[in-house]
Amino acid sequence: MSGSLFAPDDGPWAERLAAGTVLLHGWACADAERLLAAVDEVARRSPPRGMATPGGQAMSVTTTSCGDWGWVSDRRGYRYSAVDPDSGQPWPAMPAALRALARDAAEAAGFPGFDPDACLINCYLPGARMGLHQDKDERDFSAPIVSVSLGLPAVFLLGGSRRADPAAAMLLQHGDVLVWGGPDRMRFHGVKPVKPGEHPLLGGRRVNLTFRKAR
């Protein structure tokens, strides 16, 4: 199922891709500079770092977090931690600008009352990718996932509830926000290798903010 929730004009518009999946085209564009300033503040306190899968494979993205919980991965497995393992300190508090964007986007997509306690910040350079996976380390699957794209465009893969299900490819541009939840909460998803390019705000980088209710 695909269709517009409200008609596109010169500003953001919403497109329903499935029962519980909505793409908010350009939703974060107006606030991009403020969002990136907030991300930079988080990164100064908890710098993005390369992580490894439990099997020891290095991830091609660099990652940090903010909020009550941060997502980490190492040979011990995928999990949430209240403490940044690099610093031994709590993760930076989630900036108000990020929390407000996530709440407003979730409500626009039909998920009112979303209150994220974790924001995963993934930084992509050209060639970086994310394999198909489910967000399943959270305890609360009733809350949606809110994913914000900033900087270079990327081809996002949105599959089904099984890894073998076909995955639809969509181009996510700067400022796009993808929200999925409800019957679509456990969809597999990933990102194809980011192509080289230059963005006015982020240069040759892509930043993805993924908001979740971890606990």
Residue 57 corresponds to which tokens in the numbers above? 């494979």
Q: Both tokens of residue 164?
A: 């073998």
Strands 168-172 and 77-81: unpaired
Q: By the 8 A CB rule, do 32 and 175 touch? A: yes
Predicted confidence (pLDDT) per residue in 126-141, tens digit: 999 999 999 999 998 9
Is a pLDDT exceeding 80 seen at residue 42?
Answer: yes
- Beta strand spans in the chain (E): 3-6, 13-18, 21-25, 49-52, 58-67, 70-74, 77-81, 118-124, 130-133, 145-151, 154-158, 168-172, 177-180, 189-191, 206-212
Give the residue with greater pLDDT, 3 vs 163. Answer: 163
Confidence of residue 46 (pLDDT cuts 50, 70, 90): very high
The ranges assigned to domains in the chain are 15-212
Q: Is the dihedral of CA 201, 202, 204, 206 positive or negative?
A: negative
Nearest to 187 by CA among 76, 74, 6, 21: 21
Q: Look over the chain and give the mean of its residue pLDDT values, rounded to a whole number.
A: 95
If one compares 135 and 11, the residue with the highest pLDDT of the two is 135
> Which pLDDT value is given to residue 9?
55
Residue 155: per-residue pLDDT: 98
What's residue 10's pLDDT?
64
Residue 77 CB neighbour total at 10 angstroms:
10
15-212 sits in which CATH class? mainly beta
